[in-house]
Amino acid sequence: MTTTKLDEVLDYLDGGLPEALSRLKGFLTIPSISTDPAHNGDVRAAAVWLRDELSGLGFETEIRETSGHPMVVAKTPESPDRSLLFYGHYDVQPADPLELWTTPPFEPVIEDTPEGQVIRARGSSDDKGQLMTFVEACRAWKAVYGQLPPGLTLLFEGEEESGSPSLVPFLEANRDELSQSLALICDTGLSSDGRPAIATQLRGLVGEEVIIRGADRDLHSGMFGGLAANPIQILCNALTALKDENGRVTLPGFYDGVEELSDDLRRDWQALNFDAEEFLSRVGLKHPIGEKGRMPLEMVWNQPTAEINGITGGYTGDGFKTVLPAEARAKVSFRLSGNQNPAKIRAAFRAHIRAHLPADCTVEFHEHGESPASVMDTSDPAFETAKQALSEEWGRDAVFIGMGGSIPIAGDFKRILGMDAMLIGFGRDDDRIHSPNEKYNVESFAKGARSWARILHRLR
């Protein structure tokens, strides 16, 4: 049997797995918590670690300063073929509560579990382990070919876990340098049934806080009840009216820009055999709700939502206090799909609340971010090429999936840099990202690096 260069790259990755895990452990010991100013030095230390690692491999690497934490930018020589921008983030979530960790969060260990070996540490799955799969694929490529894959730009951010305040200005300031044929994003995972997956659409987000005020003080419910406006009741009435009896959002124009699933995506999603009752059972529930007539994955990946995330008002302490509260507050979020316009959704929500407001009550609104949905153009042959590469590595047909959450960077790449992104990651549903005892399966790390090697081989 003839050995190909790709075979040699894959063999190198297999033989070098212990050393690769050791390097990842070293990276994971750095507590690069971007939200905590006490760890600013650690965040920079992680950026320096990456710079040194990439420079040692032969990348042209720089630490680029921002108004916050730095970016790490690494490049290989230009390619006459397709150019690629690979994105990951080197900052991590805080580790609290520390007492719930079985091992110290920044002292990574390899553990045996019923599902195989895992590496346990904060950032192992989100996102240091994921980004290092790509770095290790490049290392193996250079060992076999004598040079790094041409046409690569690596962009590693240090503020993803704190809202990425410096990212958009950085992209805008470096648009010409960073714009490539296609972006690759590693901050995702396998499908729920363990198949390799490429996320091709992500929902957007609109967040809004609403405060309704009535009387100038809390009122005695015996003296004023039935006569005076109750801000909690007003707010509840308005929020209840956001959906009809079929689970559809009632805001005028809300579904403008929402597209039905293509036949190809519907087939891919149905093939996942997603069990909504089993999924809900993991959190103590069983019965799916939502818009009638939609399959469960369609509701969490493709359909927009309106959700009440928090509501407060009146007396909430111990015991009982019979008052009509002076004010009531709620936090509401909308997950957006297709080409929904975030600004129009926000305006429609505010008009809806005002329509339920009595004449002598007032309302105040506070924005909490907005981003449109991201839908990738899968007619680009690179998507099918990557899908085939993933299928070969994992021995299962890879699928195009959606994501219910939001990864704004994918939309930023499209809006600012004019390129689509392939979101390919190897995390698992039980990786406990953002929670105590975060882990990353050693199989995900090893096969993730092999997957990137296959994708690079096919795209070069």
pLDDT single digits (tens) 413-430: 999 999 999 999 999 989
Q: In this structure, is the dihedral angle defined by the CA atoms of residues 273, 276, 278 and 280, taken in order, positive or negative?
A: positive
Model confidence pLDDT, tens digit, residues 363-393 = 999 999 888 899 899 999 999 999 999 999 9
CA 454 vs. chain centroid, Å, equals: 24
Which residues does residue 335 pair with via DSSP β-bridges, in sequence order? 205, 305
Contacting residues for 172 by C-beta, under 8 A, at least 6 apart: 416
The whole-number average pLDDT for the span 28-38 is 97
Determine contact, residues 84/151, Cβ cutoff 8 Å.
yes
Prediction pTM value: 0.86
Looking at residue 405, its pLDDT comes to 80
Evaluate whether the domain defined by 5-202+373-459 bears CATH number 3.40.630.10. yes
Is the bond preceding 127 in cis, omega lying within 30 degrees of 0? yes
Determine contact, residues 106/421, Cβ cutoff 8 Å.
no
Q: What angle do CA 83, 84, 90 make, to 5 degrees?
A: 150
- What mean pLDDT, rounded, does the chain reach? 95
Token pair belonging to 213: 């005020």
CA-only gyration radius of the chain, Å: 25
Looking at residue 1, its pLDDT comes to 59
Fold of domain 204-258+304-371: Alpha-Beta Plaits (3.30.70)
Model confidence pLDDT, tens digit, residues 270-308 = 988 899 999 899 889 999 998 999 999 999 999 999 999
Contacting residues for 122 by C-beta, under 8 A, at least 6 apart: 28, 31, 92, 93, 95, 105, 106, 438
Domain ranges of the chain: 5-202+373-459, 204-258+304-371
